[in-house]
Amino acid sequence: MFTRRRHDVLPGFRLTLGYTLFYLGLIVLLPLSAAFIKTSTLTWEQFWSAVTAPRVLASYRLTFGASLFAATANLIFGLLVAWVLVRYEFWGRSIIDALVDLPFALPTAVAGIALTTIYAPNGWLGAPLAALGIKVAFTPIGVFIALTFIGLPFVVRTVQPVLEDLDAEVEEAAASLGATRWQIFHRIILPLLTPSLLTGFAMAFARALGEYGSVVFISGNLPMKTEITPLLIITKLEQYDYAGATALAVVMLVVSFCLLFTINMLQWWSSRFQRSN
Note the pLDDT tens digit of each residue in 154-180: 999 999 998 888 877 777 787 787 878
Q: How many CA atoms lie within 13 A of 255 on its CB side?
A: 18
Superfamily (CATH) of domain 54-276: MetI-like (1.10.3720.10)
Region 81-106: mean pLDDT is 89
Tell me how long the chain is: 277
| First CA to last CA distance, the chain | 42
Orientation of helix 190-209 relative to helix 140-165, angle to 10°:
140
CA angle 196, 199, 204 (to 5 degrees): 125
Residue 240: partners with Cβ closer than 8 Å, 6 or more residues away: none
Report the pLDDT value the prediction gives residue 85, as an integer from 0 to 100. 92
Sign of CA dihedral 21, 24, 27, 28: negative
The 10s digit of each residue's pLDDT in 11-52 is: 677 788 888 888 888 888 888 888 888 888 888 999 999 899
Every domain of the chain and the residues it spans: 54-276
The 10s digit of each residue's pLDDT in 172-209 is: 787 787 878 888 888 888 888 888 898 889 889 988 98
- Rounded Cα gap, residues 193 and 79, in angstroms: 9
